[in-house]
Structure 1
């Protein structure tokens, strides 16, 4: 397959629109939200009005009729300025709304997607558990079907769940063990749990190293009852469904990581031109020039990787390996670029008023969330037949 790296006029227009929004609206405000550890409802509402939460969904469900490339472009441009806003969009679309779109019934789609596409409501993805982490197959949350009431009864705990406790969170899709197969292995299913359901408790926000203007919480379920019709997809197929969702989500995270890496370049170029030492701008020093050139090389290569994976997805081709490659590479170079940008800024890079300090704090989670770097290497090796 050949990859045309040129964007269509529609995609380029979207990219420029989000770029302007990020610089004109997000950049001047997000630092204060970040330092207060406060969710930026005003910015999220504006993103909803722009249609960003509906980018890859059909118009019949309130979406924009776009595709995953469009979502990636928006995420990259937002993350060039701030990752908290970008991850709110990524999780709201890839993890909140996409499972309903991919696996929901027509009734479920029409009930939930329009509000999520408009940004009026956020959805969350309840997969990770305190004692499972990367071993999602070791899920301990359970759901039994009470045939007398035709309801699922859910018990368990989920952790590190993004967008799960905001004032506009409407649902969490939860993975739970709903039985055992003939070999005794757990059958994992996906179930929609609306916010406010009795027994569904949302903990206080975590105190995090980064992503401080995004919402991340622990969830607990104590005899939570939801209608049997809230089953998402087939019973026992939840694990396979979420593996597909994670494959797609890795493309989105890669785009976000690429944006952070490019934002480090942007800030470093600007600082190197303005900052003087020993009578001249530090950008005149070859040591600084080479650092920034290497940073640009990494960001450029990461962009090619995530767009390649997105192109394969859009053309209906296998993309699991390419998504893992893109996620692994882009997340690791985001950490490298953030470290180098901080070094270029010197003492100012250690001050939270400078965006690179925020980028440094935000970068590390990219090597962990939606599949650690170690998991990506396992997936790549497996796809190579090892």
Structure 2
């Protein structure tokens, strides 16, 4: 699909620079506005702090009652089932990697007899289970219309997915080298890189709720591959979808979703610099200027780091400043940079392409940066020194400047917007990580081969308490994520800066506490390579920092939520905000009252400190934590109401959410009782799995 547009001349570009410079000089708070979002379309937290509480709850209930329909749920689950099968773990991942945690990774392997016997039994079980999975998936293709429809749409046959290819431990211990091409191809075959893009360009146009369903299974794949997939769905794809011109979308997106497998590549995001960190644009030193002939940009990049997926990317979002020569005004801009890398590049070919870029002025090492989590997400460091490889336009009217001429000086707005639109997925990812941690802990607690003091862990009262606490947090996070995504889908113009910034920080922090508790239950084994819990804990810890360090996210979200009050100039505006605080809904009176207890003192402080309130960091941290708690309470109450429709199916989830609500109201829940619900369920699964494994080994002997 192409759109015919006239070519842009250098004169038009320079005129655009002048126009952007005038706009930035007039709007002294342009950078702050980019961070805080459009205050004219207030979100939930902004309404909580400065708006009518009745309207706030009405907005929430309208969204909750208009959640994703069952047809979309079934369709998305069909796609997930295909990818669960296609990206299932190899025998080496399930059997040999945990063994290596005991005997090491050396070439010479000596395995003591008991360990060897257990490993061989595990191998038999793996092979039997995989044969069963193949039979089950063959049956699912025949009987499940959604799986069958996706297989047809993806042009897949079961033979394309028969051989397991994924080993998350191998990716992890490779030291951050590229994920194997066969794994990336398998994810691409399963459509995981197409989901966020519009259908007219080859994508599937998934809503946030549908995307959250996909994100929910990513932790099973390990942090490296999960991060790679999520980047394409968030900071990779979102800026193009939200801010590219139609000619740009028609040009770039089909290239990112090619029919030819040899042309497959991902999207990179080049933002963070040594001197900037979380203040990405305030401290950015990268600059781009148009060459004298008006054909290419000359790019100088002192440093870019944490460039995700660069070694397998064919497009990069490069954040730079374009400088207005007359005034020296810095105009943050995003350049779309076509990169030469593809999935199928061998190490030799990749190094040759890096050598070419180096000789052209963009210098980078052959290997990714050394990280201690999400290893395999291929984070790269690079520098540009007079690099000329980005043209003004790739085709007539298809500028390399994201957003076209009007995108000059809006790079901070576009990048921030892309981050906010993608951060909603962090909440669901955190919930999924926490749920993985809880399930691994439950499996360990009921394991009859793991006896401590003549008991399984599940018989220990302290362990029951820990399980109960983890379960409360997991169920709350799932409800929090569900409410966030449904509000996003039902309010396209709403300013979600506070919800996604605070939600990302609150969810990742809460999930981290779950992961740490789960890890403690494994004792020293939780520190061993090859153990899922060890890698999962390490991978999740990265989320507390990436795409905005959590302390900054709390402050940013709180600053945005009080923004309308700080921006109020006249007495009548301030009076309207003050009066609106006391319009309370009777059906949620207590929760609305809690909102007033937060908003009124904040407004008083705002009246005292005015815009300087945004710099009172401790106050902002307190505000954001209370906002997150109010949102969590509301989400939990809505979810409990739904679960009570069929209470016999959801008893443990209801108990966990009610326990959280008790804590939120200053009461003490029965954590032992909640933990027992989950342990009893885990014991049933453990015994059932044990019987099934014995039967499968006999069947496929």
Q: Normalized against structure 2, the TM-score is what? A: 0.52
Q: Residue 131 of structure 2 corresponds to which residue in structure 1?
A: none
Q: Residue 391 of structure 2 corresponds to which residue in structure 1?
A: 227
Q: Is the 8 A contact 1:127 1:175 kept in 2?
A: yes
* Residue 506 (structure 2) pairs with residue 329 (structure 1): yes
Separation (CA, whole Å) in 2 of partners of 1:336 and 1:181? 51
Report the CA distance shift for 1:288/1:224 in structure 2 as closer, same or farther (over 3 A).
same
Separation (CA, whole Å) in 1 of partners of 2:436 and 2:69? 20
Separation (CA, whole Å) in 1 of partners of 2:294 and 2:329? 27
Match of 1:85 among 218, 225, 235: 225
Q: Give the C-alpha shift of residue 12 in structure 1.
A: 4.5
Match of 2:297 among 135, 152, 171: 152
Q: Give the C-alpha shift of residue 65 in structure 1.
A: 2.6
* Residue 381 (structure 2) pairs with residue 218 (structure 1): yes
Report the CA distance shift for 1:22/1:295 in structure 2 as closer, same or farther (over 3 A).
farther
Q: Is the 8 A contact 1:122 1:163 kept in 2?
A: yes
More strand per residue: 1
How do residues 68-217 of structure 1 correspond to structure 2 at under 5 angstroms? 68-117=208-257, 120-137=264-281, 138-156=283-301, 157-166=303-312, 169-180=313-324, 185-196=329-340, 198-203=360-365, 204-217=367-380
Unaligned runs of 5+ in 1: none
Give the secondary structure class of the aligned counterpart of 1:53: coil
CA RMSD of the aligned region, Å?
2.3
Q: Is the 8 A contact 1:171 1:192 kept in 2?
A: yes
* Residue 475 (structure 2) pairs with residue 300 (structure 1): yes
Separation (CA, whole Å) in 2 of partners of 1:61 and 1:101? 11
How do residues 46-85 of structure 1 correspond to structure 2 at under 5 angstroms? 46-85=186-225
Match of 1:378 among 551, 555, 560: 555
What per-residue deviation string (whole Å, max 9, x for no partner) do you get for residues 275-333 of structure 1?
32223321122211221222222222222223323222222133221112220111112
Q: Is the 8 A contact 2:197 2:237 kept in 1?
A: no
Q: Is the 8 A contact 1:261 1:338 kept in 2?
A: yes
Separation (CA, whole Å) in 1 of partners of 2:292 and 2:241? 27
What per-residue deviation string (whole Å, max 9, x for no partner) do you get for residues 165-188 of structure 1?
22xx10211111102599855210
Separation (CA, whole Å) in 2 of partners of 1:348 and 1:19? 31
Separation (CA, whole Å) in 2 of partners of 1:282 and 1:19? 33
Q: Is the 8 A contact 1:51 1:117 kept in 2?
A: no
Q: Residue 239 of structure 1 corresponds to which residue in structure 2?
A: 412
Report the CA distance shift for 1:106/1:24 in structure 2 as closer, same or farther (over 3 A).
closer
Q: Give the C-alpha shift of residue 189 in structure 1.
A: 0.5
Report the CA distance shift for 1:184/1:309 in structure 2 as closer, same or farther (over 3 A).
farther
Report the CA distance shift for 1:115/1:291 in structure 2 as closer, same or farther (over 3 A).
farther
Give the secondary structure class of the aligned counterpart of 2:234: helix
Greater displacement, 299-308 / 226-235: 299-308
Pairs aligned (count): 384
Q: Residue 283 of structure 1 corresponds to which residue in structure 2?
A: 458
Q: Is the 8 A contact 2:198 2:204 kept in 1?
A: yes
Report the CA distance shift for 1:336/1:80 in structure 2 as closer, same or farther (over 3 A).
farther
Report the CA distance shift for 1:295/1:42 in structure 2 as closer, same or farther (over 3 A).
farther
What per-residue deviation string (whole Å, max 9, x for no partner) do you get for residues 51-101 of structure 1?
111112211111013222222221221124422111101112212222222
More helix per residue: 2
Unaligned runs of 5+ in 2: 1-59, 91-166, 341-356, 394-399, 563-612, 614-701
Report the CA distance shift for 1:101/1:147 in structure 2 as closer, same or farther (over 3 A).
farther
Higher Rg: 2
Greater displacement, 67-76 / 343-352: 67-76
Separation (CA, whole Å) in 2 of partners of 1:40 and 1:300? 35
